Chain A
Amino acid sequence: MGSYELSLVTLAAIYVMLALSLNLITGFCGQISLGHAAFFGAGAYAAALLTKSGWPLAPALVSGAVLAAAFGFVVGLASLRVRHDFLAITTMGVGFLFIGFVRKQQGLGGELGLSGIPDHGLGPWGLAALTVTLAAATAALSLHIRRVWAGQAFAAIADDEDTARALGIDVMRYKLTAFVLGTALAGLAGGLFAHFTRFIIPDAFGFTVSISILAMVIIGGIGSTWGVLAGAVILTLMPELFRFINDYKLLLYGGLLLLVMRFAPGGLAGGIAALTARLRGAT
């Protein structure tokens, strides 16, 4: 593999982490978020500032994740106040607040962003291996959560919050857990991204990015770990592998969002499940 292919693998792994982390919040727990890129950004800025001030990579990445999780906890508190459409707009607002704030902070580089982020010292193979391992760990965690009590509680809340509460599920605790876990993983992905590109600007964490992450979740199949993983990989690699798409990347994302929601809200995973069910029925 050349360095270009390695960088694609790294990028895809970062997006897999991001999409799976949003899937924890939106897919598993049913809390729609249109501002996920803000947590990605919080982790990226925190980790970059720390390594720039001389910290080693690992504690900087962890601190980025912790900061993003703290931010996610606050937004999770908001999800206790507002639901559904209101939550969608609130999280979108949080996203705009984040980049609006970062843009004006000279300490964060303002519009120009942070450059000269130190070399991670792992080499391209090392970084690719690290991100792929972490992405795989995120996927394993997602699959695990689905099988344990917390996953059942998430599903109950996603399905009908009031019924879940009536059944004695501690809705507040599980919602906050989903937000903290999901945003921590997004923050970790952010730290990796900052050290992968070594240059970050506020717009790399704007609304378009939030929607792209959401597109990966929706197109892959909301709630399905394997579907979301596939969605993230496909949507990251497609514009890279087919250069002519790159100019139409947003058109492709938007068009797919539109078509999937209109014709197949289960996404890729839902489509495959329906197809196998039909094939089984036919035999």
Chain B
Amino acid sequence: MLHVELTIQGLINGSMYALMAVGLTLVYGLLRILHVAHAGLYTLGAYIAVLIANATGSLALGAAVAIPVVGLAGMIVYRLLYEPILHRPPYVALIASIGLFIVMEESYRLIFGPYGETFNAPYLAERVSVGPIGAKAAEVAMVAGAIVLLGVLAFLSKRTRFGIAWRATVTDPAMARAFGVDTIAVRYANFFIASALAASAAVLVAVLNNLVEPTMGSVPSYKTLAIIVLGGLGNVAGTLVAALALGVIEAFGTIYIGHLLDRDAIAFLFLVLVLMIRPQGLFAAR
């Protein structure tokens, strides 16, 4: 029974990681950038949602504003930060991104204070149970949200003209351009979608914990980097599997080796072990 509950808890966390990590791996797949500041955008989404929800009383409105605004913010980050340094060695963008993430976190702390915001009225706090297995409604929403959003993403990429252009650009940008694909537009769309996914994850996490704080992005930011590396940088399906696997491994790890390592270290132990055995990640990129 304990194992079932641990697995469920792991899958719930894994869903959150998946929503964050898929955006990161999309950015990496297209531009070879480790976009650490992704987690800063995630926190921005949570703040917008909680502030609007508390001001208007409508969580739906908060989410409806947060998701596109963060999507736009992602496009702005690309335009102002990454685009001018794409031709530089890869560490340049990585370190710039770490710098931006620190600036964002510190700005949230200075603007909104260090203690965080809570919703005036907690949402989805009731428990739902199926037989002996129970979970918070917000946890169910997290898993359902991940399935729906990632399903829409899969549809978009496999079944639409935009999706074809997108995948073509990832595979061979020069060739895609020769066939008339606007590869620059694809990059902006990529950042919009990735950032909007991060904001969705943030709204769900904010509801689940009923807390939005300046540092809420720290742990996901570094952990999702581990996940996309495990998934084979740029490989979306691999990233999904790695996200869920990591959620479950953490849940079991905190019970069984929690006296040796803390939760975050367990994730990185797994990462380091996998990389030493398979340097290209669990699943090689395309």
Please give the residue numbers on chain A whose beta carbons come within 8 Å of chain B beta carbons, in ascending order: 32, 78, 81-82, 84-86, 88-90, 92-94, 96-97, 99-101, 103-104, 207, 211, 214-215, 218, 248, 250-251, 253-259, 261-262, 265
Contacts and interface: CB of A to CB of B under 8 A. Distances in A.
A261 B96 contact: yes
A88 B94 CA distance: 9
Given A254-B102, A257-B95, A81 B275 contact: yes
Contact of A97 (B84, B96, B269): B269
Given A81-B275, A257-B96, A258-B103, A100 B91 contact: no
A211 B105 CA distance: 14
B178 interface: no
Interface residues of B, number: 46
Contacts of A265: 85, 88, 92
Contact of A100 (B106, B262, B279): B262
Contacts of A250: 102, 105-106
Contacts of B112: none
A250 B101 CA distance: 11
A82 B271 CA distance: 12
Contacts of B271: 89-90, 93
B41 to A, nearest CB: 15
B95 A89 contact: no
B265 A99 contact: yes
B95 A85 contact: no
Interface string B258-273: 1111111111110110
Contacts of A100: 261-266, 268
A251 B229 contact: no
A141 to B, nearest CB: 24
5 contacts: A85-B32, A103-B262, A254-B105, A257-B96, A261-B96
Contact of A89 (B226, B258, B261, B264): B226
Contact of B106 (A78, A81, A88, A248): A248
B216 interface: no
Nearest to A256: B99
Contacts of B233: 85-86
Interface of B: 28, 32, 34, 81, 84-85, 88, 90-96, 98-103, 105-107, 110, 222, 225-226, 229, 233, 258-269, 271-272, 275-276, 279
B268 A261 contact: no
The interface residues of chain B, by DSSP majority, are classed as: helix
Contacts, number: 125
A262 B260 CA distance: 40
A200 B51 CA distance: 39
Contacts of A257: 95-96, 98-99, 102
B85 A262 contact: yes
A246 to B, nearest CB: 13
A88 B100 contact: no
Contacts of A259: 99
A97 B275 CA distance: 14
Contacts of B222: 92, 96, 207
B102 A85 contact: no
A194 B117 CA distance: 37
Nearest 10 interchain pairs by C-beta: A100-B265, A254-B102, A257-B99, A258-B99, A261-B96, A93-B268, A251-B106, A254-B103, A100-B262, A96-B268
Contacts of B90: 84-85
Contacts of A251: 102-103, 106-107, 110
Contacts of B34: 85, 88-89
A167 B258 CA distance: 48
